[in-house]
């Protein structure tokens, strides 16, 4: 694969822009687990094996990924939209190459797998793999998602049981029933609870608590499937998903 095509596939601009970066000596390449120092390449048409390739573009190190799979610690006050209405877009938290990765569709770059409200924080997945996005988003997969909830009022045992048994979300045109599959850390004096859902209805956690006469004051998604948000990933930070991370996600996508 030509080096200019590798950079193009990774979102560094048009092929002409990528060729220019290379010809100006702004690109160095090296291999994974290679002890040799990065080598400057100025021939944009040089053929290279993309798998395992690492490269440095204008001083920033990257690794080649045929498809991008990311996790982001979504901060509060951000929207999961390319065209936000009020708050900054989560996509501004990502470097340009991830926002510019070419796709066959009109929308370029990685896309969020589902959405979190502007005031909800926590684990958000992004990818440019349409099949992966569909798999993780499909309600038929029943992938469990864990939310840390801060309620306005203390929940009693009856409210907790109603959430587990299922409550009717009657603010829909066609009222539907929604239930938590697990609630922990909740008792008669609880303002905080950990709630697990296998569905993904619009504003579901907020609507469920409203249905039992309560209100969500804080909401944080801590886990999807078996993949937990790392303690060292701060709000606004992102990282690549590795093979073991994807295995954890797919293990519970049933």
* Surface-to-core class of residue 132, CB atoms within 10 Å of its CB (0-12 exposed, 13-18 middle, 19+ buried): buried
Q: How far apart are CA 246 and CA 227, in angstroms?
A: 8
Position 219 pLDDT exceeds 50: yes
Question: Rounded to whole angstroms, how far apart are CA atoms 25 and 23?
Answer: 5
| Cβ count near 23 (within 10 Å) | 14
For domain 69-141+226-251, is the CATH number 3.90.920.10? no
Q: Note whether 69-141+226-251 and 145-224 share their fold.
A: yes
Average pLDDT, the chain: 91
Q: What is the pLDDT of residue 23?
A: 97
Structure confidence by residue, pLDDT tens digits, 47-72: 999 998 999 999 999 999 999 999 99
> Where exactly are the structural domains of the chain?
3-63, 69-141+226-251, 145-224
Category of 13 on φ-ψ map: left (φ > 0), alpha (ψ -120 to 50) or beta: left
* pTM, to two decimals: 0.90
Q: Which residues are catalytic?
A: 117
Which CATH code is given to the segment(s) 145-224?
3.30.70.1560
Q: Spell out a b/e string for 182-204, using b for 16 or more CB atoms within 10 Å of the CB, else e.
A: ebeebeeebeebbbebbebeeeb
| Range 3-63 classified under CATH 3.40.50 | no
pLDDT of 142 higher than 50 = yes
More confident residue, 236 or 143: 236
Copy the structure tokens of residue 202.
């619009």
Mention every residue, 6+ apart, whose C-beta is less than 8 A from residue 229.
71, 73, 122, 123, 221, 222, 223
**DSSP letters of 8-42?**
HHTTSS-HHHHHHHHHTT-EEEEETT--SPPEE--
Contact (Cβ atoms closer than 8 angstroms) between residue 81 and residue 249: no
Contact assessment for residue 229 and residue 125, using Cβ atoms and an 8 Å cutoff: no
CA angle 114, 120, 122 (to 5 degrees): 75
Res. 254 pLDDT band, cuts 50 70 90: very low
- The residue written with tokens 């519970």 in the block is 252
Angle between helices 157-165 and 204-211 (to 10 degrees): 130
């Amino acid at each position: 694969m030509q080096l200019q095509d590798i950079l193009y596939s990774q979102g560094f601009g048009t092929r002409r822009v990528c060729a220019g970066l290379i010809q100006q000596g702004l690109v160095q390449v090296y291999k994974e687990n290679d002890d040799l120092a990065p080598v400057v390449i100025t021939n944009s048409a040089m053929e290279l094996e993309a798998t395992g390739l690492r490269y440095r573009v204008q001083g920033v190190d990257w690794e080649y990924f045929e498809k991008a799979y990311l996790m982001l610690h979504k901060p509060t006050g951000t929207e999961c939209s390319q065209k936000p209405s009020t708050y900054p877009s989560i996509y501004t938290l990502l470097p340009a190459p991830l926002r510019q990765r070419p796709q066959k569709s009109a929308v370029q770059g990685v896309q969020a797998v589902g959405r979190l409200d502007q005031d909800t924080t926590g684990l958000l997945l992004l990818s440019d793999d349409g099949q992966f996005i569909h798999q993780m988003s499909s309600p038929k997969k029943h992938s469990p998602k864990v939310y840390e909830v801060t309620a306005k009022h203390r929940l009693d045992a009856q409210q907790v049981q109603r959430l587990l048994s299922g409550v009717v979300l009657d603010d829909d045109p066609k009222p539907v029933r929604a239930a938590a599959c697990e609630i922990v850390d909740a008792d008669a004096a609880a303002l905080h609870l950990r709630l697990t859902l296998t569905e993904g209805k619009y504003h579901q956690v907020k609507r469920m608590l409203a249905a039992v006469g309560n209100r969500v004051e804080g909401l944080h998604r801590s886990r999807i499937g078996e993949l937990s948000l790392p303690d060292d990933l701060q709000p606004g930070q992102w990282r690549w998903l590795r093979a073991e991370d994807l295995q954890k996600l797919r293990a519970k996508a049933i």
